[in-house]
Every structure is written in C-alpha cells, then in structure tokens.
Structure 1
Amino acid sequence: MAKGKKKSAKTPLLIVVLVLLIIVFAGLCVFYFGLKHYLGKTNYVDDSEVTINYGLLTADEDDVEGFTEMETLDAEAAAAFAKEVNVGQNIDIASDGDVYNILLIGSDTRNGWYGNSDSMILASINSQTKTIYMTSFMRDLYANIPNVGIRKLNSAYAVGGGPLLVSTIESNYRIDIDNYASVDFSSMANIIDLVGGVDLEVSTQEAGYINMYLDEQCRLQGLNASDYYVTGGGITHLNGNQAVGFARIRYTSRGSEHSDYGRTSRQREILVQLMQKARSLDATTLLAVVNNMLPLITHNIDAATLTTLIANAPSYINYDIQTDRIPYDNMYTNLGEELVPDFEATINRLHQTIYGN
C-alpha cells in the first residue's frame, strides 16, 4: 500500500511537469514561427550581393538620371584634404560591446543605380548609458572613398550602396558600424503613415518648399499634389508624403541651422518623433507596425542580430535620445561650397559622445 501511495503521489507531479514542458515547447514554437514570419518579410541583402558601379563615376551626367555627385576636387584641394584625413588614420577604430551602431540611409532610389543618399544618420544604441545617439553626416562632406578616391560622401552610396557607404564612414571617422538600413522616399512616407504621421512646427516658408517637393513626389506616385498641400505657420500634422517633403528642405533655415544643416536637423526631428510615437503604441499595434514596416527597409542585418534587436525593442524605444551632426561647429573648413572636417578633433568628439572615451 505504501508503495502504491508513493507512486500515485508522483503521478500528479509528473503530469504538472509534462504540462509545463508542453506549454514551454508551444511557446517556443509560437516564438520561433512568429520570428520566422517577421524575418521572412524583411528585405535582407548580403554585402556580397551588392555590386559596385565604378562606371557611374565616369558616366556622362546626361546619361544618368538624378546623379548629382560628379564633382571632384582640384589637385591643390585634394592634397589639402588628403593631408587632413590622413591625420585621423592614426586613431584606432572605436568599438564597444555595449554599443550597437546602425547607419540609417534615406535615398532617392533610381533605375539602374542606388540613388543619392540624401540622409545619412548614424544611430548608436548604448545599452550602458541607455541612450540612442543620432549623428547626421551632411551630404556635402568630402571623404576618401575606398577604391574610389576623394569624392562627396553622398557618392559612396550612389556607387556602392550601403556597404560602400558604411566602409567609407568607418574608414574616415574611425568607428565600427555594425549594420545599415536604407529606405527610399516612398518607403519612408509609408513608415511615417504607419505610426499615424508626425506633428512638427512648420513655418510658412517651409510649407512652401514642402508643397514644391509634393509636386514631384505626387507626380511620381500618380497623386494629386494639391490634396496634400500644407499652409504651415505653427504646429502642423504631417502625413508621410508631407513629412518627406519637410525632410528634403534645404533652402530655408531651421532655427539657427541653414541650408543642409537645416535639412539634417529636420531629418533628426522626424526620427525623434517616430521614436516618441512608438513609445505611445500598445504591444499589439507596435507589432502590426513592425509587420508592415519590415518589407519597406533594405538592410544587411543577419537573423541573429535582428532577433536581438526585436527582443530589445521595447527597452530601446524608452532610451533617451541625443542628436547632433557632422561637421561639428567650429570643426571644419570650406573648400568652395564643400566641407572638410577637422578629422582628428571630429573623430575624438564622435568617440567621446558615443562611447564616453
């Protein structure tokens, strides 16, 4: 009888353990297949699949629609630039296990080539300081592009897509970049619409330029631009198309920031707004947004890294956000209309900001 009682006492315990194992297994299956679903929707492109179009640099400008970065420096200016950039090459490339760097690229994708990278923002997620640092790189910066030479930073993406732009910034600014993610104007507009648009201070001058860009954007999409026109003059709710027009403005100031400085400031404002909108979404809505957003983004983030990013996303969206741009104030010189950073000072400040050392 005693043995029978002992056996019957074990039976409920074994059943409980078995049920728990089934629940855990079922949960893992749901997570696995759910994750497979999200990974399957992404537009992943391995770096080895990206071709470098060197011929673009010598093509007739009339034969390449929209490519505006043909300019090179004269011999004297190129020598001065090379001397400056070489000083920075003595600095070690910065890297830290607590920091994940991803280059966010906004482009006007064209037929036959990658397009101009009108927005280049390094998002540095520092899990130690619980801060995301967003650093814009202005398109008129000159850089020493690997296997190409001294050109505008913007042309690195046009010639070699995300991988070449990443390696160019890594080499010139001595910082390890883990991955990149790129969107074109249309995809960016859709992403902004997915979170319900953004609310920004828009001046009447900015509204005029938004409407100018809307004429072009809507024509390409077969839409009536006048249906999207804005008036500005205060806090204005912008949908995706309108916000993209706002992000492209470089002909009027944004506060104290002029020309391309103002444009990069506007782009960072939109990203900050998107983060703030994400914070206000419940889990179900946020997953729906992610589900619809992933196919709009081209990236080189492998499955394991993307899994980690998705798992940590609820924490990341609550991190503090700090924004800046390169060139930093008082840390550059002009070569005509082009910008040449004081590379040593710029690199040290960038490293200090992101890594604290």
Structure 2
Amino acid sequence: MNRKKKKRRLKRKVLLFIDLMLLLIVIGFGYFIYITGKTQLDTSGDESIVTNSIDSEEIGGYRNIAIFGVDSRDNALEKSTHSDTIVIASINRKTKDIKLASIYRDTYADIPGEGFDKINAAYFKGGYPMALNTINTNFDLDVKEYLTVNFNAVCKVIDLLGGITLDITDEELKYVNGYTKELNKINGTNVGKLESAGTQLVNGTHATAYARIRYTAGGDFKRAERQRLVIQKIFEKAKKADIITINSIVNEIFPQIYTNLDSMDMLGLAKDILSYNIVDETGFPFENVAEYYNKISYVFPVDLAANVTKLHQFLFEDEAYVPSNKVQETSAKILEITGKK
C-alpha cells in the first residue's frame, strides 16, 4: 500500500512539474509576443517589393535584412527622411554566421520610378519599399525584411548595455563633441563632452556621435566603417547581457523600431541569438570613385557589374556569379557618365 501511495505521489509530482513547465512556456511565449508587438510594424509595402531568385537560396539559404539608420532631426522613422545608414546583414542559415555590408549613402543608383540619384534618397522618396527595391534591382539582391532605427534608439540601447569601448582619435574627438551637442537637442538630453581621445568606455550619445562623423580622412567611407564597428560592439555586448538588461532594452527600444518583422519573425531570429557571430564586414561599392556630376557629389561604382559580382562573392561565397541584364545595363549607363573603363 505504501509503495502504491509513493508511486501515486511521484506521478502527481511529475505531472505537476510538466504542467508548470508548460505554463512557463505558454507565459514566456505570450510575453515574447507582447513585447515584440511593441514595434512599429509596417508591412503595407511588402507586396510591392521586387524579389530576385538569387544564388543565396541555391547555395544553402541566407536571410538578408536591411538595417536603415535615418538622418532625422525629429527622430522620424518613415519616408521623408534620408537613410544615412544602410547596412545589409546577411545571415547564413546553416552556420549562423553574419556578414555586414554597408552601402555608401552617396552611391549613384537607379531608383525605380524616380531615375538616378543618391541611394539614400530612395528611403526619403518612397520609404522602405522603394529603398529595398533600389537595393534589390541595383545589386541583384533579395532583401525583403528591414529594421529602421533613429538616433534616440541607438543612444538608449548602448546606454542600457552599459556603454561600448571605442578608440577615439584626436581628429575624431572634436567631431564627437560637436555631434553630441546636436544629439542633445534632438533627444532632449544633456550629455557632456568627451575630455580626451584614446580607448575608452563611451555612452550611447558619444557612440552615436562617433558613428555620424564624416569629415575626417576617409569621409563617408570611414563613417560607414565606424557605423559597422558600433553595430558589432552593440551585438557583442547584447549577447552577454543578462535577462534584466535585455528586458529593459526591449521595453525601451522596441517601440522605437520600425519594421516589417512580426513577432514570429523575431522569434525565429531570437531563438538562435547565442549562435550568431559577426564574422566579416565591408563597405560597398568596393571599387568606386567620388566625383561631381551636375554639381552634385556622388560615389560611382567602377564598374557596377564587377562590384555586384564581388558583393555576391563576399556575402554568399559564390565565386561564379554573373550579374543580371538589368545590373549590366545600369553598369553601362554609369560607365558612360564616369568614363571609367
């Protein structure tokens, strides 16, 4: 009799444990849906996005997400603001390796329905659908997902992570302090200036100011490099953050994210967060020339077709990629303007 009682008690305990675990899973899933639901979800333009059947699927599958950092003095996220940060994050679905490719904001590109302009004007003119279409048609990519963030969101996420370590040069110092003043006005903050150059832990405002510098040697090319570095630093600290910090970031930052990634999309990304590693980064176009055309300064790919081939080699390790007819036509038009052969 005692043995039967013990077995029944053990069975009840096991069932209770299973019930509790299921309850925790349900609560956890529900909470995840709740917090991811705080983002500014916009899928209204998804059906108009031009997609390409590219090598990324054929060679194992990649998830390509565009990250837009908008240059908005009032922290707006939708169109009528230039995307001065354009980064393609390509995730290898098998290895979980991530590669980052910055597209220089002044890159001369054919904006669908608008004609040639700086690529950052696509977001200004038509929001995320036009920006993604410009990326896909000019570079033979298949980017359907995007995340848009503003100055305030970047500042706050870095602050919540406890800052990041950057090596600030003497040349960069005055620009960091100059942009800090501007960010204070935009975000309603009162962050003081950095007192000296060197390797140091900086807060969100100083890090964002650093990522905006474009007037040192290297100009916008160097700025894009700084932006990729800041993204890497944020990613590295976020992977090591505790649950309380992550919860704070989610509650503070998610309402400031504009995206077409819904809760299930984010769950698909979040479940592998500890497996992801940023393994390489670059700027695009690789071969370029900065010149004036019609009294406006552009970054011209030299030549576009060759750059696109190299981009597919970098992102997808496809050594034999041949650009589409559309890319080759666009490449020929740009070569006519620049005279570069």
TM-score class normalised by the smaller sequence:
0.7 to 0.9
Q: What is aligned with 1:34?
A: 31
Say which of 265, 290, 304 aligns to 1:305: 265
Say which of 326, 345, 348 aligns to 2:306: 345
Q: What is aligned with 2:232?
A: 272
For the residues of structure 2 that align with 1:26 and 1:223, how far apart are their CA atoms? 42
TM-score, scaled relative to structure 2: 0.80
Question: How many equivalent residue pairs?
Answer: 305
Q: What is aligned with 1:93?
A: 54
For the residues of structure 1 that align with 2:5 and 2:79, how far apart are their CA atoms? 72
Q: What is aligned with 2:323?
A: none
Q: What is aligned with 2:201?
A: 237
In structure 1, list runs of 5 or more residues that go unmatched: 52-90
Is residue 176 of structure 1 aligned with residue 142 of structure 2?
Answer: yes
Q: What is aligned with 2:67?
A: 104
> Does the Cα contact within 8 Å between 2:64 and 2:88 map onto a contact in 1?
yes
CA RMSD of aligned residues (A): 2.8
Is residue 162 of structure 1 aligned with residue 132 of structure 2?
Answer: no
Task: For residue 214 of structure 1, report the CA deviation from its aligned partner.
Answer: 2.0
Structure 1 residues 315, 292: closer, same or farther in 2, change over 3 A? Answer: farther
In structure 2, list runs of 5 or more residues that go unmatched: 319-341
For the residues of structure 1 that align with 2:27 and 2:242, how far apart are their CA atoms? 20
Q: What is aligned with 1:147?
A: 113
The residue type paired with residue 279 of structure 2 is: I
Task: For residue 289 of structure 1, report the CA deviation from its aligned partner.
Answer: 2.6
> Does the Cα contact within 8 Å between 1:93 and 1:170 map onto a contact in 2?
no
> Does the Cα contact within 8 Å between 1:46 and 1:300 map onto a contact in 2?
yes
Q: What is aligned with 1:194?
A: 160
> Does the Cα contact within 8 Å between 2:100 and 2:278 map onto a contact in 1?
no
Identity of aligned residues (%): 31
Task: For residue 117 of structure 1, report the CA deviation from its aligned partner.
Answer: 0.9
Larger radius of gyration: 1
> Does the Cα contact within 8 Å between 2:97 and 2:279 map onto a contact in 1?
yes
Q: Deviations over 1:142-193 (max 9, x none)?
A: 1111111111101001111222111110111111113110111122111211
Structure 1 residues 92, 345: closer, same or farther in 2, change over 3 A? Answer: farther
Q: What is aligned with 1:22?
A: 19
For the residues of structure 2 that align with 1:157 and 1:232, how far apart are their CA atoms? 36
Q: What is aligned with 2:40?
A: 43
Structure 1 residues 119, 289: closer, same or farther in 2, change over 3 A? Answer: same
Structure 1 residues 7, 155: closer, same or farther in 2, change over 3 A? Answer: same
SS in structure 1 of the partner of residue 65 of structure 2: strand
> Does the Cα contact within 8 Å between 1:117 and 1:139 map onto a contact in 2?
yes
Task: For residue 119 of structure 1, report the CA deviation from its aligned partner.
Answer: 0.6
Structure 1 residues 8, 222: closer, same or farther in 2, change over 3 A? Answer: closer
List structure 1 runs of 4+ shifted beyond 6 angstroms.
4-10
Q: Deviations over 1:5-43 (max 9, x none)?
A: 999898568646643542343133212221222122222
